[in-house]
Amino acid sequence: MLQAPQRSALSGPALVRLLARLVEADVAESRQSLADRLSQWLGWTDAIALSSALDGKPPAVAGGARAFGRAEEEECTRVRRSLVSAIASDSVLAGSRRRGSSSLSARMSAPRVAVVDTQTDYAVFRQRYLALQQSMETAIGTLRGRLRALLATQAPALARLAVVDAVMERALGERERTLLGAVPGLLGGHFERLKEGEARRVAEAEATDASNAAAPLASDAWLDAFGKDMQSVLLAELDVRFQPVEGLLAALRAC
């Protein structure tokens, strides 16, 4: 008996590993170093700006220095928790888990249906994903700028780091939006596979028990599974987006 070849385990961020599993893609590990990849993503003007930030004279420390403290830590925690809560409580992604709040008797008295609702459209999920992405980008961008402003008041080395981070955000921002903007499209394929699988399940059940007057009941379990998968991807994306903030926090804690 032939066995399907096993995919090699991917390393790297949870977002990449999760997407590879959901889209059923056999993704090969990149053999390029981080420096090589960055050299392809940075334009010549970005490279000049980055070189100046790294090799030039350290920027003057901004006036009005204040110590890094509890307020910034608490704000970072608040922003992250707020974004996690928005993802976890989103009514669209909750699917039939939200509908499950209806009474048991009402659900049991509902007519049995033999087909999956073909009107269930991915477009509404795509719009929710894009909206949550925008919320992440806005909130994290504001937080990142606030931490850079504080870094610039601490010491020349930290002020240089603030400039480097600003250059990197400008240089890689469009690339980041393009790559992360492709995620909803990848999830669309996963949605359709789950939907088609449920339709096959109902059709096979109906064919197996054709003598039964009661039609097999179509389930919303596939939709719940998709909602959970989408939430997992969003949370993994949040981890990736928050990495620059974590780096700036680490620098501030060390000063």
pLDDT band at 192 (very low <50, low <70, confident <90, very high): very high
For residue 220, the model assigns a pLDDT of: 81
With b for 16 or more beta-carbon neighbours within 10 A and e for fewer, the 196-218 pattern comes to: eebbebbeeeeeeeeeeeeebeb
For residue 39, the model assigns a pLDDT of: 77
For residue 116, the model assigns a pLDDT of: 44
Instruction: Judge if pTM exceeds 0.85.
Output: no
Using CA atoms, how far apart are residues 22 and 5, in angstroms rounded to an integer? 17
SS3 string, 73-138, reads: HHHHHHHHHHHHHHHHCCHHHHCHHHHCCCCHHHHHHCCCCCCCCCCCCCHHHHHHHHHHHHHHHH
C-alpha Rg value of the chain to the nearest Å: 24
For residue 49, the model assigns a pLDDT of: 86
For residue 217, the model assigns a pLDDT of: 61
Q: pLDDT tens across 16-74, in order? A: 889 989 987 666 666 777 778 777 888 888 888 888 888 877 777 766 666 677 888 99
119's tokens: 């009107």
Using CA atoms, how far apart are residues 241 and 221, in angstroms rounded to an integer? 30
Q: pLDDT tens across 225-242, in order? A: 999 999 999 999 999 999
CB 253 within 8 A of CB 39: no
